[in-house]
Structure 1
Amino acid sequence: MNTFKRLIKYSLPYWRRILVAALASIAVGALDGAIAFLVEPVLKKVFAGKDMTIFAVLPIGIVLLFVIRGICRFANDYFMRTAGQLAVQDVRNEIYQKNMHLGLGFFNRHPTGVLMSRVLNDVNMMQDGVGGIVTGVFREGISAVSLLGVIFYRNWQLALISFVVIPLTIYPAQKIGKRIKNISKESQGRMGDITSILQETFSGIKVIKAFGMENWEIGKFLSRNRDYYDFTRRSIKYEALSTPVMEFIISFGIAAVIWVGGNSVIQGKMSASEFFSFITAMVLVFNPVKRITSLYNIFQRSIGAGERVFEIIDEKPEIVDLPDAEEIVRASGDVEFRGVSFRYNDDYVLKNINLSARRGEVVAFVGPSGGGKTTLVSLLSRFYDPTEGAVLVDGRDIRTLTLRSLLRQIALVDQETILFNDTLANNIRYGKTDATDAEVMAAAQAAFAHDFIAELPEGYETNIGDRGVRLSGGQRQRICIARAILKDAPILILDEATSALDTESEQMVQNALNNLMANRTTFVIAHRLSTVLHADRIVVLDKGEVVEVGNHESLLAHGGLYCKLYDMQFQE
């Protein structure tokens, strides 16, 4: 119920729509009761009183009643379901916003496909539940109450007989509903697995085809899809079982009413028209009762999906601003790592790192894979917070600064060129959305990207496709560099920015990087030592510790790990 209450809170801003739907529900329920109530007097006047006037207008009256009922039902469905849709839209917006503000650690723990499933599939199931439940329970509940009034008015003894069986339906409904909820949560998890496979397959299709692994991936998908079917089949089984069980229990009440009521008619204690009016109302009232039972199953599915969604919404961000965090307008670029250690779970990735960089300096990080280079610069951007020690910018612990103002001080050019399915201009101005066209063009020229952009049919307005698939590797990297140049941040991080390029592209990208690095504090992560020979300082990391610091010549003369790495790369 806590989950359902939270869902209802999202509906409160749309109370006007809900009010209109409620009034329409009242009208539908009242008309159901009126139809059942009028059966007895109409039958009496037509067949006992031979009133041909009523008989003549009866078909027109029936049509009008159902036209009015249809209009009210439409208004009820439309306004209640749109209110539910708007409420779930707010839920989807909130879960997406929450995802955007969670730290990288959260995304490392949760596969992308599973998170996509939470935003899409789980929220869709919530949408079906909220719209259907609120609409159905309101309408069917009012209809049932009005019809109950009619049958108790006609014959309260028969009404008690017919409804003595209703409490017997509660227990099986609860048991079946609970099963459906648990199965629904499991099936949504399986749908997350399917979404994850789709995401991996479509993003890695080139590798799949290169290794001829299509059939292997198809086999994985078929297996996961079968798992999803197995859970869905169980849910269908319990839902299909629900209605027959309810009808079987209710049949005892109907049989008892027919037996007792029929005897009353035969003995003259009750007229046939009264009995038919009662039977009509009783049959009509059992229909909304059965529909409410079905809605309870939908409710359980919706709650199962809602719990999965609220798990994300309730996730606590690992990286947050302190209550008294300060804005930093423009840093000079001095950076210090003071006694920094960091661990994932119980495993230390960095141990007691102490180093500093002044404005305009180029500091390179080299060393074997897994040494902690990328993790160290990730601490500067507060993708993570250090387990011990502090990272300082201009002498201030970055945890005392607002995250947004800190990130304005840092530009990143990563080895994985992340571009978006948008125009070249919008990709360049990604870090400065209010940049003019002239500023975008100037950044592209500084990144040696303007010439190839100008040759494209639509120039800067060319859409580059998913992840920039329509560009070469060197072109994508230069667009990323143009984006960093336009941001004009005082601190620059280059994470293997030229590692995947050929010699010609690397030279052009390196020229662009030289323009970008001017007058900025630059941290370079590199495996190819040829790209860092002229760094002011080279920091050698091994197993999370700083083992050597110096420039190229001094490290070669020292004969340590750096010399060993250099000899391995330049042994010819």
Structure 2
Amino acid sequence: MLASLGVASTDGAMAKLVQPFIDKLIIAGDRDLIQLVPLIVIGLAAFKGLSRYVQQYYILTAGQLAIQDLRNQVFKHLMSLSMRFHSSNGTGSIMSRVLNDIGMLQAFLGDVLVIILRESFTLVVLVGLAFYTDWKMALIAFTALPATALPAALLARRIKAYVKKSQGAIAVLTTALEQAFSGIKVIKSFGTEKDQVRRFFDKNRSYYNFWRKVIKYDAASSPVTELLTSLGVAGVLWYGLNRVLAGEMTQGQLFSIVAAILMMYGPVKRLVRVNNVFQSAMGAAERVFELFEAQPEILDAENAVRLDRVRGELVLDHVCFSYDTASLEPVIRDLSLTIKPGEMVALVGPSGSGKTTLMGLLLRFFDPDSGSIRLDGHDLREISAESLHRNMAMVDQEAFLFNDTIANNISYGSAEGSLDRVREAARQAYADGFIEELPDGYQTEIGDRGLRLSGGQRQRISIARAVYQNAPVLILDEATSALDTESEAIVQEALNNLVENRTTIVIAHRLSTVKHADRIVVLDKGTICEIGTHEELLARGGMYRRLHDMQFKEDTDGSLD
């Protein structure tokens, strides 16, 4: 701000020096003063240059740090939001707000803030100089300034509205990109490249249409400001020239105040343009701060219990849950179930029966609408999230791996990764063989989502990660459903090592993978319709039998094909 004052005072000094330059040098011919002109010009230029450098460096640095803090806060807030938020908001839309919208704020907090400070100070100095030199002429010039305010405000309001719409359009465009590249295998296999290109072109055109209107209103602001300020200049020249002819002021005084007024209109025009950028930034800012309006649903209780290693008893007591609280159709209906420590319980049922939702409730991605879920006698809502997830491990059907080394993926979530523990976890997951054949072994980078590995290899890394976590409660969600027969057999062996001495909840469509469970719980429309062992449920002839017969054929002697 001090440097901005330096820039402004230099502009004021230049306008003020016009009067002695004309009166004493050009008209009076003061030769002594002529010798000082080069030194004055160079000195003012050097001082202004240094002031502009200091001003720009510190403001741009502060702007970058502010954007860094904002992006960090947004990301931290997004990580704290519950699964309900992430399941109802597309990844592309969230990414667009974090990258594109904050990027627009970055431009404002950088160059624009420099201009606002510099031009505001300069305007104040030049207005003060004009009124000090001749308040009547300054008043004539100043009447044009309020006239620019109304059209500038109207244009800026339009710009803000269309920028917000254009940012929404770029979010749609980002989503299209994210889906196209994530689903490139499907696109290629169906040969729909041209269709995807056409859709992208349409979305890109929509974005352009919004941005074209922003450009239209932004381009109109300069001519409107130019026309209105010219009225003030015309009034000053008419009045000033008449006063010079009447001998009421010198030519130097006239040119000094005209220079100050002309220089004053420069900051006005630049501030009008900056206001357009400011409104654009505000349109983007509203989209960013809308994210902060979303509040996390799953929070630690005020006196949350921090559990050490649990025994693994799970009790679901009359649990009800629906994704939409206003909906009359709950996904889980009055469900009660007790799972003993060390017991393996399988959850089966047709699609939409509530298996995956129940997994989300056990991991406390959601809280029940009514009823409770207890771990070793403690309601999940009373347990700290950190200690709850330390006691639970999950192996999902989609083995998500990070673009990192194999060792770091296996030890993910651990403060200190022990390579010996990593090797042991990989051995129990039957992953050590293929890992050691890789060029860099456990330090091999596996690419985005682990795409350099096969599906079976990714799943075994995921199992090794669960082994490394060594949690007493294990949740398996369709852990072998996406694998071929050979990979499934290896992964199943790895799972057998993993479930030993752990409370295990298995969600499965392939009934062959749950035959050896201690109990099989059959769900239908969010309720338990059958419980028993594999043999008991087959003999009962209920829904489990029907699901079984849909997957397997029976020989005449009852053996499985």
TM-score in same-fold range (> 0.5): yes
Q: How does 1:260-279 map to 2 (within 5 A)?
A: 260-279=239-258
Q: Which residue of 2 aligns with 1:106?
A: 85
Q: Which residue of 2 aligns with 1:199?
A: 178
Please state how far the C-alpha of 1:455 moved relative to its aligned partner.
Answer: 0.4
2:164 partner amino acid: K
Q: What's the CA shift string for 1:503-543, capped at 9, x where partnerless? A: 11111111111111011000000000000000000000111
1:513 correspondence with 2:513: no
- Contact persistence 1:94–1:313 (CA under 8 A): no
The alignment-based identity, stated in percent, is 49
Q: Which residue of 2 aligns with 1:561?
A: 543
Q: Which residue of 1 aligns with 2:557?
A: none
Say which of 376, 381, 387 aligns to 1:399.
Answer: 381
Please state how far the C-alpha of 1:318 moved relative to its aligned partner.
Answer: 1.1
* SS at structure 2 position matched to 1:283: helix
Q: Which residue of 1 aligns with 2:14?
A: 35
Say which of 66, 91, 106 aligns to 2:45.
Answer: 66
Q: Which residue of 2 aligns with 1:152?
A: 131
Distance in 2 (CA, whole Å) between partners of 1:203 and 1:332 is: 40
1:170 partner amino acid: A
* SS at structure 2 position matched to 1:505: helix
Q: How does 1:155-554 map to 2 (within 5 A)?
A: 155-345=134-324, 346=327, 347-554=329-536
Q: Which runs of 5+ in 2 are unaligned?
A: 554-560
Q: What's the CA shift string for 1:351-404, capped at 9, x where partnerless? A: 111111111110001111111101001101111111111111001110011111
Distance in 2 (CA, whole Å) between partners of 1:539 and 1:507 is: 24
- Contact persistence 1:379–1:386 (CA under 8 A): yes
Please state how far the C-alpha of 1:294 moved relative to its aligned partner.
Answer: 1.1
Q: What's the CA shift string for 1:101-156, capped at 9, x where partnerless? A: 11111011111000000100010111112234432221111101111121112111
Q: Larger deviation: 346-355 or 23-32?
A: 346-355
- Contact persistence 2:315–2:374 (CA under 8 A): yes
- Contact persistence 1:29–1:139 (CA under 8 A): yes
Q: How does 1:61-100 map to 2 (within 5 A)?
A: 61-100=40-79
Q: Larger deviation: 526-535 or 43-52?
A: 43-52
Q: Larger deviation: 281-290 or 427-436?
A: 427-436
1:55 correspondence with 2:51: no
Please state how far the C-alpha of 1:49 moved relative to its aligned partner.
Answer: 2.7
Distance in 2 (CA, whole Å) between partners of 1:125 and 1:419 is: 32
2:141 partner amino acid: S
Distance in 1 (CA, whole Å) between partners of 2:33 and 2:195 is: 74
- Contact persistence 2:425–2:464 (CA under 8 A): yes
TM-score, with normalisation over the residues of structure 1? Answer: 0.95
* SS at structure 2 position matched to 1:524: strand
What count of residue pairs does the alignment treat as equivalent? Answer: 551
Q: Larger deviation: 373-382 or 130-139?
A: 130-139
Distance in 1 (CA, whole Å) between partners of 2:200 and 2:415 is: 40
- Contact persistence 2:301–2:381 (CA under 8 A): yes
Distance in 2 (CA, whole Å) between partners of 1:324 and 1:431 is: 24
- Contact persistence 2:157–2:279 (CA under 8 A): yes
1:393 partner amino acid: L
Distance in 2 (CA, whole Å) between partners of 1:223 and 1:287 is: 41
Please state how far the C-alpha of 1:549 moved relative to its aligned partner.
Answer: 0.5
Q: Which runs of 5+ in 1 are unaligned?
A: 1-21
Distance in 1 (CA, whole Å) between partners of 2:534 and 2:149 is: 79
Write out the 4+ residue segments of structure 1 that deviate beyond 4 Å after TM superposition: none
Distance in 2 (CA, whole Å) between partners of 1:559 and 1:112 is: 44
Q: Larger deviation: 37-46 or 465-474?
A: 37-46
Distance in 2 (CA, whole Å) between partners of 1:524 and 1:187 is: 46
Please state how far the C-alpha of 1:336 moved relative to its aligned partner.
Answer: 0.9
TM-score, with normalisation over the residues of structure 2? Answer: 0.97
* SS at structure 1 position matched to 2:330: strand
Q: Larger deviation: 314-323 or 489-498?
A: 314-323
Distance in 2 (CA, whole Å) between partners of 1:433 and 1:209 is: 41
Q: RMSD in angstroms over aligned alpha carbons?
A: 1.0
* SS at structure 1 position matched to 2:483: coil
